Structure 1
Amino acid sequence: MRSLSAWAIFAGFLLLPLSAYFYLFHGDWFLLYRIDVSVIPSAVALPVFIFEFALGALGYFLSASLIRRKKSEIASLLLAVVSALVFAPIIFFRRELAVVGTYRQFHRGYGLEEFQESALFPGSLFMGGVLIVAFAYLLIRLSIADRRYG
């Protein structure tokens, strides 16, 4: 149960706030210019963040169940598939990720800033670094908990 707490702290104090930050301040970019963030009611956004948390919890419980049943090969395969799905948008949506602007600017082709020159770039570097450090810490905590209680 301590490893679940470590994951919940990671998700609650880092993953969800990061998602909320990008949605609130760079929403059109965050949604890859697929939906105009100004037309999304806030009553819809909150359940999406709850779904994000629930999806992570489901992944945690599925992985924990596989590990407890000594099916670490399946858990590793699941991790590889999910990792590929996480990084796939970087490849498939590189045009959308390369520029920063509003939904309207993107679709009409004016006023866009290059990602590296935008205000989003330093924040993304910092938050990406924090996310990587926190994820590494989470993996270390889970490994320690597994050795201690497993």
Structure 2
Amino acid sequence: MPAPLAPLFGFTLGVLLAWLARFEDSLDERPVASSWDRPTLAVALYALLVYAPVSAYFTVFAADWSFAYLLDGRALPSALQLLLVLLDAAAPVLGFLAGRRALARRSLAALAWLAALPLAAATVPLVALHARFGIDATYDQVQSDFGTRPLPGSPLGYAVLWMDGILVAGAVFTARTLSTIDASAALPARPGRPAPPVLPSEPPSEEPPRFLGRPRRPR
């Protein structure tokens, strides 16, 4: 997964997960800050445990290839790498929330644009630089044009296949999990003291009130 393009693909993946879950019948229009329910947490777990680690692997261990050998991975500041990892973790969740809001408004056109724009922005440079992404080398080897080898059959190529398989398997598992979650169910409340049962009220009596003691004699 190329490092600069991973957040764009992650956002599109989140939108697709929202469309596959099909929550348009049970969602209402609500702000993003109040949308942390079970479906969103399932996507967040996928982003944190699968998508972000896979993207971070190439950012850290194959930085030259991740940037299409346009930058020297050894010169990349660690703050930039950390920022990319954080974006990788947030992109699927943001795409999922945006997709759910579009579905809640019954706007399939907005949903299509949300998925198409990031996908196009990531696909154009990927296609334009496919020759650089198709080799396994270092920044110095590409600049000097020696020692390069095709990506298929190389250790980096096997890593790309393995990691992409993990991404797809995790996305399929997340989509199947979302289909079994009731989107209208809120998060479980914290355990506390149960409320006392409400007793039914007695119907009013038509008998006149009775007074205790001896009745007073009229004067």
In structure 2, distance between residues paired with 1:131 and 1:16: 10
Q: TM-score, normalised by structure 2?
A: 0.61
Quote the residue 1:103 is aligned against: 139
Gap regions ≥5 residues in structure 1: none
The one-letter code of the counterpart of 1:77 is W
Whether 1:4 aligns to 2:40 is yes
Deviation at 1:4, TM superposition (A): 0.9
Corresponding residue to 2:161 among 116, 119, 125 = 125
In structure 2, distance between residues paired with 1:149 and 1:13: 22
Corresponding residue to 1:14 among 50, 55, 59 = 50
Corresponding residue to 1:149 among 183, 194, 200 = 183
Deviation at 1:32, TM superposition (A): 1.1
Deviation at 1:101, TM superposition (A): 1.0
In structure 1, distance between residues paired with 2:156 and 2:85: 21
Quote the residue 1:87 is aligned against: 123
The one-letter code of the counterpart of 1:91 is V
CA displacement 1:63-119 (0-9 Å, x = unmatched): 121112222332133223333334334311111111111111112211112101311
Classify 1:83/1:136 alpha carbon distance in 2 versus 1 (closer, same or farther; 3 Å): farther
| Contact 2:65–2:133 (Cα < 8 Å) also in 1 | yes
Deviation at 1:121, TM superposition (A): 1.4
For the pair shown, which has the larger CA radius of gyration, 1 or 2?
A: 2
RMSD: 1.9
How much identity, in percent, do the aligned residues show?
26
The one-letter code of the counterpart of 1:117 is G
Q: TM-score, normalised by structure 1?
A: 0.86
In structure 2, distance between residues paired with 1:141 and 1:81: 27
- Which consecutive aligned stretches of 4+ in structure 1 deviate over 6 angstroms post-superposition? none
Whether 1:24 aligns to 2:87 is no
Greater alpha carbon shift after TM alignment, 8-17 vs 65-74: 65-74
CA displacement 1:36-61 (0-9 Å, x = unmatched): 11011213311221123233332222
Classify 1:85/1:141 alpha carbon distance in 2 versus 1 (closer, same or farther; 3 Å): farther
